[in-house]
Amino acid sequence: MRNACSEPVPTGRAAPIGEVGPESGTIATMNVVVCVKQIPDPAAPAALDPQSHALVREGKLILDDSDAYGVEMGLQLADEGGEVTLVSMAPNGEVSGIRTGLAMGAAKAILVSDPALAGSDALSTAKVLAKAIERAQPDLVIAATESTDGYTGTTPVQLAELLGMPSVTFAKKIAVAGGSVKVERQTEAGYDEVECPMPCVVTVTAGVVEPRYPSFKGIMAAKSKPVDQLTVADLGLDASSVGWAGARQEITEVAAAEERAAGEIVVDEGDAHERVVAFLEQLKLV
C-alpha cells in the first residue's frame, strides 16, 4: 500500500468497520439499502442496438462489480445490528445478479421489474428507485459512484434529491456514529472528511472495502431469501414517465471514432529501451 499523503490515508484493502452498536449510542438496528445493477458480463463484447441505440442486454446478467463494494460496505455497517436490503430495477424480471448480493449476505431484495422500464434514462431510473427505496425506510442508502456499463454517474444524487436526503459521493471510507455518517470523500487534491446526518445517500468508490466471495452456504441460503417484485404501477408511477416514453433524450447517430494510425511494434531483445530513448529524443523530451 503506497500513498503520497502527508498523513496515513486508509485506502484500498484495509477494510473500515462501521462504528455501529450500543457503545457508540447509535441506531440499534440499521436499515441499509444498497442499490445494485444487473449488467451484461463486461468481459463479453458490448454493442448498441441498431434500431433503438440502447445497450444490448441479452443473455445472463451479473451483479455489477462496482456494486459488490457497496454490498460489502452495507454488510459491514449492518453487522452489529441491522440488515441490508438490495434494490434494483430491470425490464425483464432478471434476478441472477441480485442472488449474488443475497448470497453475500443481504437479507432481502426489492426488484422493480416492468417491460415499461426498457430505455429508462438516469433520471427515470432515479424516480423508480426512489419510490422503491421509500418502502424500505432506510437509515442509509449506498450506491456505486457509477455503473460499469452505462457510467452516467448521476443516478445516486438524483435519487437523493428525490428522497429529500443529503448525499456524499465518492466515499473511500464510511463510519457510522451518533445518527450520522463520517465519510472520507475523494477530492481532486486528496480527500475531505465529511459529516452527514442520516438518512442519507452515500456513493462508494471501488476498493472502499474488499468484497467477500459468497460461501456455498450463502449461495444456498440466497435461493430462499425474499425478492419482492414490483411493477411501475405498484409504485404509483405513471408508465409514461419512465422507459423510452419518459426519456427526453435520444441518440441521433453512432459512428466509428477516428482510429489512431498503427504504430511501430518492437519485440524486446534486451535493447528495446534504446528505441524508446530515440523516440523520446525525436520529441525533444530528452
Partner 1 sequence: MAIDKVWVLAEAADGSPVSTTLELLTKARAIAGTVEAVTWGGDAAAVAGALGDHGATTVYDVGDLGGKLPGPVVAAAVAELVRSGNRPDAILVPTTYDGRDIAGRLSAKLDLPVLTNVVGLEVDGGELRSQHAVFGGTQVVTARFTGDGPGIFVVRAKSFAAEASGGGAPQVQAVPAPDLGVSGAATIVQRHAEERSGPKLDEADVVVSGGRGLGGAEHYAMVEELAKLLNGAPGASRAIVDAGWVPYSHQVGQTGKTVKPTVYIACGISGATQHLVGMKGSKNIIAINKDQEAPIFSVADLGVVGDVHKVLPKLIEALKARG
Which 106-145 positions form the footprint of partner 1 (CB under 8 A)? 121-123, 126, 145
CB of 223 to partner 1, least distance (A): 30
Q: Which of 185, 204, 232, 243 binds partner 1 (CB under 8 A)?
A: 185
Q: Which of 37, 131, 172, 173 binds partner 1 (CB under 8 A)?
A: 172
CA dist 236 and 217 (Å) reads: 37
- Strand, coil or helix: what is 159? helix
Q: Which of 41, 49, 134, 192 binds partner 1 (CB under 8 A)?
A: 192
HSE (side-chain half, CA atoms, 13 Å) at 203:
19
Told to check if 41 binds partner 1 by CB under 8 A, we report no
Number of residues that bind partner 1 (CB under 8 A): 89
Q: Quote the longest CA-to-CA distance of the chain.
A: 68
Q: Are 269 and 143 in contact (CB under 8 A)?
A: no
DSSP 54-84: PBP--S-EEE-HHHHHHHHHHHHHTTTSEEE
Q: Which of 61, 110, 158, 204 binds partner 1 (CB under 8 A)?
A: 158
Told to check if 60 binds partner 1 by CB under 8 A, we report no
Q: Are 104 and 83 in contact (CB under 8 A)?
A: no
Choose the stretch contacting partner 1; rule: CB under 8 A; options: 18-26, 27-35, 104-112, 261-269. Answer: 261-269
CB of 253 to partner 1, least distance (A): 4
Told to check if 49 binds partner 1 by CB under 8 A, we report no
